[in-house]
Structure formats: structure tokens, C-alpha cells
Amino acid sequence: MKRTLQLCFLVVSIFSTLPLAGQDLPEILTRMLDRNDWQDKSLLEYRANRKFYAVNSRFKTDSTMYVQTVFQRPDRLESTVTLHEGSHLIRSRVFDKILEAETETWAKKNKQHVDIIPENYIFLLLGSELCDSGPCYRLKISPRRRDKYSLDGEIWVDHEDYSIVRIHGFPAKHPSIWTQRTEIDRRYKKIDGIWLPARVDSSSDMRIGGRSTLSIEYNYESVRTQQ
């Protein structure tokens, strides 16, 4: 049994370093863009309850905020805070800033500048890996412009429908001189054929404040699509 498990692990390890047969980077990107367009046209509305949680280990302080968010096509996004507990400083410096950034980047004009597309990023096909949804292409992304919303990192693209199912990376531009390092991991789940955010985890190392971590969990009440 032990040798069987070792062999299975070796096969998976080798598989994860190889590109999936029959696909090249231009074709993957073309299908990914087609999928993005289809999803933008198909998603009409969703209602989600989100839980924001942040903690600073050095000062042993934390904060929790519950937010109800409604999206309506094409670019209407409204978030309402329903409950907040804990540090008000974390809320004002972290949670409120996230909500402001969402409003800023969701508008169609601004969204085009932050989307993970060839106009904004350079892509490199690294190989393939098994994601929660199944086989995925793993691509490295490098921003063409280094601004506060761009990332250096990787994305995972579903082998079946070419949607982005995970984003992991680091801000291409430091948020402030006090931030030494920030890491972001964003994962998606498929609901009624549409890939929507499921969870965001991030951590930051501050020069004075030490290490802080943030998580955002999504729970969808309803998702309405174009039939």
C-alpha cells in the first residue's frame, strides 16, 4: 500500500509539471477571453452575504464585519454593512478601504484596466495542476503597468470551460512604505454555470504593525443568469 501511494504521488507530481496535450498559450487565452465575455453577458444578478475577518498578531486585535452585496448587470454593485464587531481601526483602515476599491474598480471603464487579460498582463504557460474543480492550466501573470490594483503572480484556468478558478500573487506596487510584503489568494466556485468568488485570503507584513491577515468568505443567496 505504501509503495502504491508513493507511486500515485509521483505520477501526480510529474503530471503537475507538464502542459496538457493539444493546447498552447494563444489558444488558452482566446478561449479564456471568450468565456469571460460569455459570463459577462450571462450573469444578470447575484446577492451575497460576506464575512470579513482580520487579525493583527502583534497587537492581538481583530475585527469582523458582515456585508450584504448585490450585483446587477452591467456594473451596479452595492454593499451594505449589516454588522460589525471588534476593532474600529481595522474596519476604517481595511474593510472600508476594500469596499471603496470595489466600487472604484467595478465600473466598466475601470474594470477594463484591472481585468486579467492580454491588454493588461503578460502570460506564461507553466503547466497544469489538479484544482478542486479538476484539471487546470497554470499560468504566470506579469502586469504591463505597475499600479495599485495589478498583481505579480499566477492564475489557474479550468481545463473544461477556461474560466479563472484561482488567482494568487503579490501587488505589483507596494500599497505604502510601511508595507513590506502582501500576499493574496482568491478562489472561485461555480454556481449555475457562473464562476463567482468563493473566498479571499491575504496577509501583510508591516514595518511597525507586524503581521496581519484578512479573509473574506462569500455565501450566495441567489444567482440569476440569462437563460
Q: What is the pLDDT of residue 126?
A: 97
pLDDT digits (tens, 9 = 90+) for 191-212: 999 999 999 999 988 665 678 9
Is the pLDDT score of 26 beyond 70? yes
Q: How far apart are CA 179 and CA 3, in angstroms?
A: 46
Sequence-distant (≥ 6) Cβ neighbours of residue 19 within 8 angstroms? 125, 127, 128, 137
pTM: 0.85
Asked whether 88 and 4 are in contact (CB, 8 A), the reply is no
| CB-based contacts of 194, cutoff 8 Å, min separation 6 | 39, 42, 43, 223, 225
How many contiguous H segments (helices) and E segments (strands) does the chain have? Answer: 5, 10
Looking only at the bridges linking them, the beta strands covering 151-158 and 121-131 are unpaired
pLDDT at residue number 152? 96
pLDDT, one tens digit per residue, over 84-139 is: 999 998 999 889 999 998 888 876 556 777 899 999 999 999 999 999 889 999 99
